[in-house]
Structure 1
C-alpha cells in the first residue's frame, strides 16, 4: 500500500470520549457509574451479574475482540498477545491562527478571542495506522479518572471507499485480503437454492460478519477519510478498543507524565498483516496538515470543544 498520502489543512476540535460518539470506530470500556456523562445521556449499561461471593459487580461483554486472520493472504494463524506501551507526553506547538476549518464540525464557530483563560496548543497528526485483522484494546494503568494534569487523546478516521482512495494516490491501494475465484461444485450451487435441498432453511444463512459488532467488521481497502477525522479526550477511567481495520493515530498522551498502557490484540508476526501505516503529507496548497486543537484550563485539563459536553462552542 502507499506509504504516504497528501492531506489538506484541517483543524480538529476535541470531543468527549463516549460509547455513542465512538461506536463506529470501536468500543469504550468504563464503569457506567464513572461515566463523564449525566445519567440521562448515558448509553444503556452492559449486562451485569453478581460475582466474588456478592462482593463484586461483573459487567459482561464490555468490548468486542475480533481475530480475522483467516482472511490474511499468508493464512498464518495469529495468537492473542498482551504488550505494554509506556507513552510519553507529546510535544505540542504554540497556537497559531489559521484558516483551516475543523473536520466534521464546519458548523461550529470557534472564535479565536473567545476562549478566555484557556491555553490553546496544537498537535500535528503525521501518521495513521490500522490493524486489518484484529481489534486492539488500550488499557491505561495508574491514571486517575480525576487526573487534571495528564490525559490521553484517541484520534481516529473512517475508511474511504477504494474508488475514493484511488483519487488520492492515483492507484487503488492493495488490501491484504485475497480475492480467490474457485470453481463451485454442484453442491455449492444447489446450496444457494431456497428452500435448500440440504436443510430446512427457507433463507440463506447470514454472512459471517453480520454476527460481529459493526466496529469489528473488516473495513475494506480504503485509505483514511481525513475530512472526517475525529479526536476524543479520555479519562483514566476509560479503556478503548479500536475495531479491526480502524485507522487511528498512535496513542497521544497530553500532560506532565507518561501513561502505561496494557495493549491486547491478536498478531501473526507478518508485518503488513499485523500493522499498516501511512504518513500524512500536507499538499502543496496546504497551510498546514491535519492538526488537533487542544484547549486546556489553568490546571492543564483538556477542554471539550465539540459534541456532547462541549464548552465555548457556538452552534
Structure 2
C-alpha cells in the first residue's frame, strides 16, 4: 500500500507540452518540423545527419536514458526493459464551482464563463509515482498529431527537500535512500586534499552527475511538491521521457479511444527501487484535493489555459 500524503485543494490549468516548459522534469521527443511553436520560441535543433542512403534525416541524442541503480540500497544491477501500456481514456467529472486555490502556473479564474462551444471537465489526481533510479520514456503508437479526439496529459511535480517531506507526513521520507559510508580510509581522506597528493589537481574532480541533464540527476528521498504540480497536454507526435526520480501521475489519456504506449526504462526487480507511489488524500478542511481542469473545444481537442500557447488557444 502506498504512503498517503495530505494535499490541499488546488486546480491546475493545462499547459502545452514543449521542451522549454518541461525541461526540469525530463525531455520531449518530437520532430522539430511538426512543432506548433513559432520559430522565435523553439529551442535549437538537435544534431541531424543524413541516413538511409539519403532517404532519411537522423536526429542525434533526442533523449537521454539514465541508469542510476548503482545508488540503490540493494545494489542489485538493472537491465533495460521495454513494455507496452494500453491506456484507456480516463473518466472526467463535470465542472463545478470551487473555492480551490488556483495553481501558481495559471493566473486564471476557473469559474469564469467559458465560450458556449467549450466544455470544461475535471480530472482528480489521486496518486503520484516515481522511478528513483531510472528514466522512463513513453512513446505513443497509432496516434496522429492531427487527432483532435484523443490526447494525453503529462502530470508532474518537483521533489521537496527532505526536511519539508518530514513536515508533510510527520515522519522521515518513506522510501529507502543510499546508505552513506561514514568510515573512510586514509587514502580517501588524503584524496580530498588540494592539491591532490595523487594527481596534483588543484580542484576536486567533477561529480559523476555533473554531466547529466538536471532532470536526470538523483532527486533525493523527498515527497512531491504538490503546490507546484503541473499538467501538460501532448499530441500523438510527441513522446516524453521522465527524468530519473521525477514524480508523475500515471499516464492519463483524454478522449475517445485508448492509446498504446511503448515504455522504455531500466529495472532490477526490487519493487520499492523500481517504483515508489504516494496516494494523495485531501486535507480534512480541503474541498476536493488536486484537480486538473480540462477544457476542450467542440471537436474534443484539449485547450491550453496556461503558459506558451494559451493566448492562441483562446482566439
> Corresponding residue for 1:184?
184
Gaps of 5+ in 2: none
What is the TM-score normalised by the length of structure 2?
Answer: 0.96
Task: Name the structure 2 match of 1:121.
Answer: 121
TM-score (norm 1): 0.96
Q: Do the aligned partners of 1:155 and 1:232 also contact (CA within 8 Å) in 2?
A: yes
Alignment-derived partner of residue 234 in structure 1: 234
Residue in structure 1 matched with residue 287 of structure 2 by the alignment: 287
Structure 2 equivalent of residue 142 of structure 1: 142
The answer to whether the 8 Å contact 1:109/1:313 transfers is no
For the residues of structure 2 that align with 1:292 and 1:106, how far apart are their CA atoms? 11
1:71-95 CA distances to partner (integer Å, 9 max, x unpaired)? 1111110000000000000001001
Aligned to 1:207: 207
Is 2:21 the counterpart of 1:21?
A: yes
Q: Distance in 1 between matches of 2:312 and 2:238?
A: 24
Question: What residue is the counterpart of 2:217 in the other structure?
Answer: 217
Query: Would the alpha carbon gap of residues 221 and 231 (structure 1) be closer, same or farther in structure 2, given more than 3 Å must change?
Result: same
Q: CA RMSD in A?
A: 1.6
The answer to whether the Cα contact below 8 Å between 1:306 and 1:313 also exists between their aligned partners in 2 is no
Count residues in correspondence: 314
Give the match for residue 30 of structure 2.
Answer: 30
Matched with 2:152 is: 152
1:155-174 map, 5 Å:
155-174=155-174
Q: CA deviation at 1:232?
A: 0.2
Match of 2:83 in 1: 83
Does the Cα contact within 8 Å between 1:11 and 1:292 map onto a contact in 2? yes
Give me the whole-angstrom Cα distance separating, in 2, the residues matched to 1:2 and 1:81: 24
Which shifted more, 111-120 or 135-144? 111-120
Please report how far the alpha carbon of residue 313 of structure 1 lies from its aligned counterpart in structure 2 after TM superposition.
8.9
Cα distance in 1, alignment partners of residues 152 and 235 from structure 2? 7
Q: Which residue of 2 aligns with 1:49?
A: 49
Shift of 1:311: 3.6
Verify: 1:253 aligned to 2:228, yes or no: no
8 Å CA contact 1:215–1:243 kept in 2: the answer is yes
Query: Whole-Å Cα distance in 2 between the matches of residues 39 and 83 of structure 1?
Result: 35
Match of 2:66 in 1: 66
How far apart, in 1, do the equivalents of 2:300 and 2:127 lie? Answer: 25
Indicate if the aligned counterparts of 1:114 and 1:312 stay in contact, CA closer than 8 A.
no
| CA shift in 2, pair 1:312/1:27, >3 Å | closer
Write out per-residue CA displacement over residues 207-246 of structure 1, whole angstroms, 9 at most, x where no aligned residue. 1111111000011111111100000000101000000000
Checking the alignment, whether the CA contact within 8 Å between 2:105 and 2:230 is kept in structure 1 is: no
Q: What is the CA-CA distance between 1:29 and the residue it aligns to?
A: 0.4
Q: Distance in 1 between the 2:159 and 2:3 partners? A: 16
Q: CA deviation at 1:2?
A: 6.2
